[in-house]
Amino acid sequence: MKISTSVQSKNNKTLNLQKVGIIYNVEHHAAGAVTKTLENMLKSKGFLDIAKYKVYGKKEKIPVDAELGLVFVVGGDGTFLGAARSFSPYGIPLFGINTGRLGFLSQLKPADMEYGIDKIINGEFVIDERLMIKSFTDKESEFHTALNDVVIKGGEISRTAQLFLYINSRHVCDYLADGLIISTPTGSTAYTLSAGGPVVVPELEAFVIVPICPHSLTTRPIVIPADEKIEIKVKIDSDFISVTSDGQEFLNVDSRKIIRISRNEYKASLITLKNDNNGFYSILRQKLHWGISPHG
């Protein structure tokens, strides 16, 4: 059996199936066995060129083959975030198979892999583009990127800082807080949500700014258009501040520098199967138990 080298998605985007990849995180006990099953399944359905990438944790840099048309990500949300930062600059779509805890970014459980592969082969999917965010200090070319969020904190644990927010070079507000989260819509269901931020649908082109443990009863999250330019100045009794991308890439920055944040030029491409049970609101109900009565 030989599959077609390309397939058209439901939103009229072409997916190249000539060469595909599988990333799996060996920190997940089941990932190795799931990957072997997935590889055999793909071969049986006519996928002839399959590249495998073994990663040891969420932070590991992944060598990218730009010829890949699709990458299956076997792991949890952390593995998926790492893959997004690696493959998104090349426009390579990702499809998640969850062996982690929550799996908010993944499409399927391992038991449903064959169903998912058939859906892809038959073009019963869409390729969603997700906003990504970047942070930098002096040179915009030397940036760090994230799919979920950028978090700015004092350089020492539990150190409260004064954070001054500027949008498009205009002073907006000051925070006395443990830190500040700047999130994409995709990240609004992660750390941002835990810090009291709103749930934002992934299709919106927006950023969410949420203070962490603010020392004020009037401080509230703010949602702004994604084209706005954000600047954060920090006043703290420390030589450095911590800037984290997706909770995985950590950078200590001179506390006198300005942290600049804006939308990234490229987006992450996520494959979403077309059915009634995997829409954004369905996932909220299933995985976060959103809007479900405790007595129901």
Q: Which residue has the tokens 């911590």?
A: 242
Q: Tokens representing 100?
A: 């982690």
Cβ pair 58, 25 in contact under 8 A: yes
- CA-nearest of 239, 222, 240 to 230 is 222
Phi and psi, residue 194, nearest 5°: -65, -30
Burial of 30 (0-12, 13-18, 19+ CB in 10 A): middle
Encode 153-166: b = buried (16+ Cβ within 10 Å), e = exposed.
bbbeeeebbebbbb
Handedness of CA 40, 44, 45, 51 (dihedral sign): positive
Catalytic residues: 77
CA distance linking residue 149 with residue 132, whole number of Å: 8
Amino acid 144 reads H
